[in-house]
Structure 1
């Protein structure tokens, strides 16, 4: 485990490939949760996430309360810090809210496993239990 002043980061899951384990470690605490930061104020960050079929956003860390909404439908796979792998289907308008207490986080990646572009909008709330991570 790696530690900084606010978080104790986990070791990469054993079920990841060597390449994914190295990426996981390199990206601990990476707050780049979309493919484009569309807007940022003192209160929110608004992200677009667009993945073509087979495309992937690498491991990143969520520490802020946030929600995402699927703009398009499709399917994806995520690998999580606890070793879990989830296959999910999305419909346009699907929305999910997440909240984190002090020192809590989620680390995962996302791969578009479908045959159409997969698009999400994510809104992070910067005033919460944790300070925002760098957006780059």
Structure 2
């Protein structure tokens, strides 16, 4: 995954007013708001994110460790609560692991590419890594 920082931490000058308004005034859901839950047991949740070009998932708070695999490849943008905006170029089949257990990480996800982006996320409910 290649990342390019479009806006630095501590600054909100390059944010769309509607995105900043959403962050300030809307309640932020836990886990992967807007994603489709495909499977859940006592240990994991399996999520599907399928975004057409221009589609966006709202801000959500991640409090667990998780991994994802991109099934399609694509280009996305995420906004973070510290003001950072990053654009990501993701290759088909790329897999990444994130450690957010008890960290309250908040971000959104928008498909800014020309093709559908499909990402499957395996969220670990109780494991400590």
Q: Secondary structure at the match of 2:30?
A: coil
Alignment gaps of 5+ in structure 1? 1-12, 130-136
Is 1:22–2:21 an aligned residue pair?
Answer: yes
The aligned residue for residue 96 of structure 1 is 96
The aligned residue for residue 5 of structure 1 is none
Higher strand share: 2
Aligned pairs (5 A) from 1:23-102: 23-25=22-24, 26-33=26-33, 35-102=35-102
* Contact in 2 for aligned 1:34/1:47 (Cα 8 Å): no
**Structure 2: how far apart are the matches of 1:19 and 1:105?**
22
Q: Secondary structure at the match of 1:53?
A: coil
The aligned residue for residue 5 of structure 2 is none
Aligned residues: 116
* Contact in 2 for aligned 1:34/1:122 (Cα 8 Å): no
Structure 1 window deviating more from structure 2 (79-88 vs 21-30): it is 21-30
The RMSD of aligned alpha carbons is 1.9
TM-score by length of 2: 0.80
TM-score by length of 1: 0.76
Alignment gaps of 5+ in structure 2? 1-10
